[in-house]
Structure 1
Amino acid sequence: MTAPARHAFTVARLDLWIDPVFDAAIQDDAALRLSVLAAAAGDARTAEGLAQARAYHVSAARDEVPRGWQVTPDLLAACPRLLCVSSGGAGYDTIDVAACTQAGVAVVNQAGANAASVAEMTYALLLSLVKRLDESGAALRAGTARSREALMGREIEGRAIGLVGIGEIGRRVARIAQGFGLTVIACDPLLTAEEIRARGAEPVDFDTLLARADILSLHCPLDEATRGLMDAWAFARMKPGALFLSTARGGIHDEDALLAALDSGHLAGAGLDVWRVEPPSPASRLLQHPNVASAFHTGGVTHEGRRKVAAASARQISQMLAGIRPERLLNPYVWPRFLERLAQARAD
């Protein structure tokens, strides 16, 4: 390990699990010094450590990070030395990007690093639903399996899958869909129709997507534009017998409205990797519903995905603190001010 530079910048993270490649990469950069702080809420040593940090790597999962350590206006006010923040995933629920921009703090996420993992989870949930894997396994384990026809599933070939968002994850879902013989339609307000076609989908508007999709899958971030997007109206617009999937974020879909659509039989099933509260209560009616395939927000939590995210996070932090613009900068308008603050930090 290279010895730290005389004026090394401190990179802080909480003591939540992270692939060791992150710590190794930060420690191998002579311009950086790693500080691992307790995640326990209200720890005075953590507050002091964050106040001294120039970079902060924070988990993207809001229920893993105490509110006091999420990047809010209050935390930014208490950490005036902070130059940049790195989200430990494609999402950034724990970071107020607008507040960071106002404070001159650059923010990056790791979009694409775990895209393969999440795309694979989308199809794991879908196939679990249509092949009735939970029911079949439970019947075998209970010794109640008597007739294969009683557990008869369905094929997905020839159906239409509708993607809400076709970024790094969505484009992989679209590519995999071709192998299953699925037709792909997509809406994404951030892309032109030509870009959506280039990513393997027919561009449609949101209302058309709801009406045409046999399978609807969410691949968009949780923000003010998407919060509550899948509400009672949206579920009612979906085709009778359609399937709903989300590996995106809890809060984009209304759980009560989804439960009502399943209970009424309007929707045939749902595959959920994300929840309003994570983990959901074991008593949750949605979790216990026989037509729901469930997972504990583990779509991107694979050995490979976590390693890629950790490596990308460390690389982007190193780049920013070296004055190099990173690939996944979420607030590009902050960059000139960030460089001014970086220069001042070097001069201090």
Structure 2
Amino acid sequence: MKIAVIGSGFVRSDRLKEILAGYFPEATFSLAESKWPSEPFQNGDEVLEYSGDPEQVAELASDADLLVLDVAPVTQAVIRRARRLKAIGVCRGGPVNVNVEAATERGIPVLNSPGRNAAATAEFTVGLILAGMRRICLGDARMKEGVWDGGLYMYQECGEELEGKTAGIVGLGNVGRRVARLLGGFGMRVLAYDPWVPASAFSEAGAERVDFPTLLKQSQILTLHARLTPETRGLIGKEELERLPRGAFVVNAARGGLLDYDALFESLERGHLSGAALDVYDPEPFPVHHPLLMHPRVVATPHIAGATRESALRGAEMVAEDLFRLMKGERPRHVVNPTAVP
């Protein structure tokens, strides 16, 4: 068996090979590595959020039985040339860099790793809330400027506690449920809105199930964890921000397209919102000198919420295990196109 492995600067090809070799000790490997995240993602008409040249992917995969990758592009042309290919393993939750329709037409299962970075993103979300609401980033910046800023202890400048406040979570999936449990640990009342999950998910996460208008009206901290779809794009705009209580704090570590950033900036400038913390943008990379990023009440990071060593290895392990199941004739746990599974 030959396995083509295309890693990235995050999910390294050598670590991928090491994990895969534990399941397929007799396999031979061909390795390559994309330049992401040192270079930003590309987006095309056929696949999205990819890094690398489809022609190079096609050459590497042309005689492979299995193709395992992180963010390399797998187009219809790549799939057509990979005549021996039995499965594609993608070490990310949403394999938007793979033409799943073309793979399905060939009867090639596409395996993924949903939730690989759920713990990382949930922890980071809480970190963003604390960093913004407790003025941690501003205090750190002042110290690095050589300024001991006692003014941050002034009543009108100091931060606010989480305990006793109400948090609203939009999207109660793998990340949202973890965020709910973490915020509950701070003594917060947690509300959640997600029309697609059962009532049991709310109770297990310690969250109150409410409708969207109620969540907006009562959330002193609003944090977004919904998927980006045509229906959710622009979910939080000027009108929704106005419905939040005055002094609310907004967090987005999900997808930039969920939130209207021009409306967010306007709301911050008018003083309706006390602050915001952002890890995702639309587009990415976001202009680094955008006034929103320069705002003193905004904490901004470059889409790193899911970036932990554990999540990189977890995604690789999930894919390797499912490929092993598939090759043994068993049903993989995570497959994007189940109709392609023999």
Counterpart of 1:25? 19
Large movers: runs of 4+ above 6 Å? none
Q: Is the 8 A contact 1:58 1:94 kept in 2?
A: no
2:38 paired residue number:
none
Q: In the alignment, what sits opposite 1:12?
A: 5
What SS is found at the alignment partner of 2:19?
A: helix
My pick for the range that moved more, 98-107 or 165-174, is: 98-107
Contact 1:164 1:186 in 2 (8 A): yes
Residue 184 (structure 1) aligned with residue 190 (structure 2): yes
Deviations 1:5-29 (A, max 9, x none): xxx1434324544255421122231
- Counterpart in the other structure of 1:271: 277
2:60 corresponds to: 49
Distance 1:52 1:15 in 2: 21
CA contact (8 A) 1:110 1:309 kept: yes
Instruction: Report the counterpart of residue 39 of structure 2 in structure 1.
Output: none
TM-score, normalised with respect to structure 2: 0.82
Q: Does 1:127 align with 2:138?
A: no
Matches within 5 A, 1:99-114: 100-114=103-117
Q: Which moved more, 1:16-25 or 1:188-197?
A: 16-25
Query: Using the alignment, how far apart are the partners of 1:185 and 1:106 within structure 2?
Result: 38
Structure 1 residues 186-210: Cα deviation after superposition (integer angstroms, max 9, x where no partner): 1223212233222221112223222
In structure 2, C-alpha distance between the alignment counterparts of 1:24 and 1:268, rounded to whole Å: 47
Cα distance in 2 for residues equivalent to 1:120 and 1:112: 13
In 1: Cα distance, 2:81 partner to 2:128 partner: 42
Q: Structure 2, unaligned stretches of length 5 or more?
A: 36-51
1:259 aligns to what SS in structure 2?
helix
Paired with 2:5 and 2:223, the residues of 1 have a C-alpha distance of: 35
SS in 1 for 2:206: coil
- Map residues 88-103 of structure 1 onto 2, 5 A cutoff: 88-97=91-100, 100-103=103-106
8 Å contact 2:58–2:77 — kept in the other structure? no
- Give the Å deviation of 1:125: 0.2
Give the 3 Å change call, closer, same or farther, for CA 15–110 of structure 1 in structure 2.
Answer: closer
Name the structure 2 match of 1:321: 327
Summarize deviations over 1:154-178 as a string: whole Å, max 9, x none: 1111111111222222221111112
2:208 maps to which residue? 202
How many aligned residue pairs are there?
Answer: 321
* Residue type at the aligned position of 1:116: A
Pairwise CA distance, 1:73: 4.7
Equivalent in 26, 30, 45 of residue 35 of structure 1: 30
Whole-Å Cα distance in 2 between the matches of residues 338 and 246 of structure 1?
36
Partner of 2:143: 140
2:175 to 169, 187, 208: 169
2:258 partner letter: I
> The residue matched to 1:315 in structure 2 has which SS?
helix
**Equivalents in 2 of 1:328, 1:45: separation in Å?**
27
- Mapped to 1, the partners of 2:92 and 2:210 lie a distance apart of 28
In structure 2, the CA distance between the partners of 1:172 and 1:80, relative to structure 1 (3 Å rule), is same
Query: Could you tell me whether the CA contact under 8 Å between 2:170 and 2:194 is conserved in 1?
Result: yes
Instruction: Please give the alpha-carbon distance, in whole angstroms, between the structure 2 residues aligned to 1:262 and 1:163.
Output: 20
Alpha-carbon distance, 1:180 to partner: 0.6
- In 2 relative to 1, CA 101–133 (structure 1 residues): closer, same or farther, beyond 3 Å? same
Q: 1:274 to 1:156 in 2, by over 3 A?
A: same
Q: CA deviation at 1:99?
A: 5.3
CA contact (8 A) 2:57 2:78 kept: no
Deviation at 1:252, TM superposition (A): 2.4
Deviations 1:240-297 (A, max 9, x none): 2211112212322233232233223222211112222333232122222211112222
Q: Does 1:222 align with 2:228?
A: yes
Cα distance change, pair 277–85 in 1 and its aligned pair in 2 (3 A): farther
Cα separation, partners in 2 of 1:125 and 1:323, compared to 1, 3 Å: same
Say if 1:250 and 1:275, in contact at 8 Å, map to a contact too: yes
CA separation of 1:329 and 1:46: change in aligned 2, threshold 3 A: closer
Distance in 1 separating the partners of 2:230 and 2:106:
20
Q: Is the 8 A contact 2:132 2:297 kept in 1?
A: yes
Q: Taking structure 1 as reference, are residues 103 and 211 closer, same or farther at Cα in structure 2, changes over 3 Å only?
A: farther
User: TM (normalized to structure 1)?
Assistant: 0.81
Match of 2:119 in 1: 116
Shift of 1:216: 1.4
SS at match of 1:243: strand
Match of 2:43 in 1: none
| CA RMSD, 1 decimal | 2.7
